[in-house]
Amino acid sequence: MAQVIADRRDIDFVLFEQLEVEELIKAKKFEDLNRKTVDLLINEARSFAIKELLPVNSIGDREGVIYDNMTVKTPDCFKKPFDLLREGEWTAMNEDVEFGGQGLPDIVSKAAVEYLFCNYSLVNYAMMGHGTGKMVELFGTDQQKYMFLNKLYTGKWAGTMLLTEPVAGSDVGALETTAVKKDDGTYSLTGNKIFITNGEHDLTDNIINPVLARIEGAPPGTKGISIFLVPKFWINEDGSIGDRNDIICTGVEEKMGIHASSTCTMSMGSKGGCRGLLLGEENKGMKIMFYMMNEARLSVGFQGFCYASNAYLAALNYARERIQGRDIAAGRDMTAKSVAIINHPDVRRMLLWMKAHVDGMRSFTYYVSKCFDTIKISENEEEKQIAEAFTELLTPVVKAYCSQRGFEICAMAMMVYGGYGYTKEYPVEQLTRDCRITSIYEGTDGIQAMDLLGRKLGMNGGKTLLNLIDKMNDTIAIAKKFPALENITKATENGVIQFLETAQAIGKTAISAGFKNAYASAYPFLEVMGDVIIAWMLLWRAAIASSKLESAGKKDIEFYQGQIKTAEFFIKTVLPGTLGKMNSIKDCNGAAVEISDAGFGGR
C-alpha cells in the first residue's frame, strides 16, 4: 500500500467543521478565496508532496550532505523538487502578494504545509528564508526590503539564523561575536557560530544570514545584542549580487537524523572582510530575533506533529496488512486462521493512543494558526488582543508538547511494526530519528517550560490563561447537550478545574522562596497543559461529530463515530494519568533541587 502522509478527511474536518474556515475567508482580506480554491490548493499540495517530495525523502537521508572545502553539496535528488517547490510558490503562502506570497490565511497554508513537511529537510531549505524575510519586513529599511524581501519569500535566496556559539548555547547573552561600525555605515563582524541549519548549501544563488553580535562598547548580556544581515554574497544597491562575503562554513555535523539538512559551523571575519547591515536599532537584536524565534518554535512543534501523523498512518496501514497470530477470541483453536494485527487488542490500544494525540495536535496547531488570522482580520479590538495573547501563551506548549509527543508517537509506531520497524526497510525508523531533533532545537523542551512558567502563565495578570479556560468551558457547555458524551464531558470539566488549580499553585510557588522547586516541575506542568488542551480539542471534535451523526451519510458515520471513540479513549485512559501529575505538581517536591551533586552518583 502507498504511504499515506496526512489524513485528508481529518484535515477537512478541522478546517471546515471545527474551525469554520469558510467563515474566516469571508473577510475582505481573503475575498478571492472560497471552499473550492482551498480544496484545490490542498489537493495540489498533496499531489506535489506524494509525487515529488516523498520519493526523495529516504534517498536524501541515505545520501546526506557532503562537505568539501567550505562548500556543502546537497543530495542530487533534491534539485528538481526544490526548483518545483519554488516555481509552485509554496515558500510564503500566507504573505502578501506584493512581497511574493499568495495572501492565504495562516490556517490554510498550514494544511498545505502538513503535506509538504513529508520531506522536511528539503522543504526547509526553501522555507527557512520566510523567517528571515519577516524580520526584514517588520524592522528593515526600505532599501533592505527592496534588496531582500521578495527573494527571501519566493525562495530564490535562502535564509538562516546565526545565534548559537560554542560558549553561548541557550545562554545567548554570553555570545562573543563582535561588530564594528565602518565609515560607510556597514559593520565588520568577527566570530563563530555553531549548529546553523542551512548555513551553507548549493540550492540557491545566495544565503542571507541574520547574525546576533555585540557592537563594541555595548552593554553586557542580552541588552547589548544587535542583529545584522550578513549575505553569503554581498548585495549591491541595485539589488544585484556582488562579491563573496567573508562568511564561510568550516564543517557540518554528523547527526542522528535529518541527514539531508546541512547543520553547519560558520566563521565570520577570518580574513577581516565580513560585512553586515544593521537590522533595526542597535542593541535591539533580541527583540527582533524573537519574532523569528517564535515563528520557528511554532514551526518546529508542527514539524514534530507532521512526523507523528506520518508515522501513525504508516503504522495503521501496516497493521491492516500484516497477518500475524490468531484472533484472541479463537482461544486454543489451533485451526483458526491468522489475522491482521489490527485485530489484536494491544495493537488497537497503541493505534488509538497515537490517533488521539495526532488528531488533538492537528486541531491544536491549526487553532493557533487561526489565532494569527484573527489578529489580521478582526475588527474587534478585544478579540484581536485575546488572539494575540493566545499565540504568545501557547507557543511554548505547541513547540515542546508536539515535539515530545511526536517523538513518542514515532517510537510507538515502530512498536506496531515490531522488528521490521527497527529496520530501514520501513519509514518509521527514519521518522523516529528525524523527529528527535524537534525537542532540542529552537530552545529545548525544558527552556519552553521555563518560558511558559516564568513569562507566559502570568501574562496580563493571569487573564490570558483565564480566557483560555473560558474557551474550554464554552466547549464543555456545548458537549453537555449530548447525553452520550456525559461521562467524558464531566471528566474533561474536572480536568480543566484541576488544571486551573494546578496553574495557580505552581504560579504561587514560582514567586516564593521555593521557586526552584516550581521550575523543577515546569516541564511536567507544560505536559499537563498540553494534555488538557488535547482533551479540550477532542471533546470539541466529539461534540461536532455528535451533532452531525443523525444526518450523516454512510461514508461519514464511521468517521464521526471514530471522533467520539477517540475522545473517549483519551479522556478516560490518558487524562486520569494527567490528573495524577497535577497532584505531584501541586506538591512541588524539592528532591531534584535538594539532592547534592555527589548524591547523583556516577563516580
Catalytic residues: 442
CA distance 18 to 9: 12
Helix (H) or strand (E) holding 542: helix 522-548
Contacts of 329 (CB under 8 A, 6+ apart): none
Question: Among 444, 422, 425, which Cα is nearest to 433's?
Answer: 422
The SS3 call for residue 176 is coil
First to last CA, the chain: 52
CA distance 393 to 465: 8
Contacts of 419 (CB under 8 A, 6+ apart): none
* Pair 186, 137: CB distance under 8 Å: no
One-letter amino acid at 463 equals K
Contacts of 80 (CB under 8 A, 6+ apart): 52
Question: Among 159, 243, 227, which Cα is nearest to 199's?
Answer: 159
- DSSP for 291-305 reads HHHHHHHHHHHHHHH
* Pair 361, 394: CB distance under 8 Å: no
Report CA-CA distances (Å) from 3 to 54, 127, 407, 473: 9, 24, 19, 38
- C-alpha grid cell for residue 270? 577570518
Instruction: Centre a 10 Å sphere on the Cβ of residue 459 and count the other Cβ atoms it contains.
Output: 15
CA distance 16 to 11: 8
Question: CA 161: distance to chain centroid?
Answer: 16
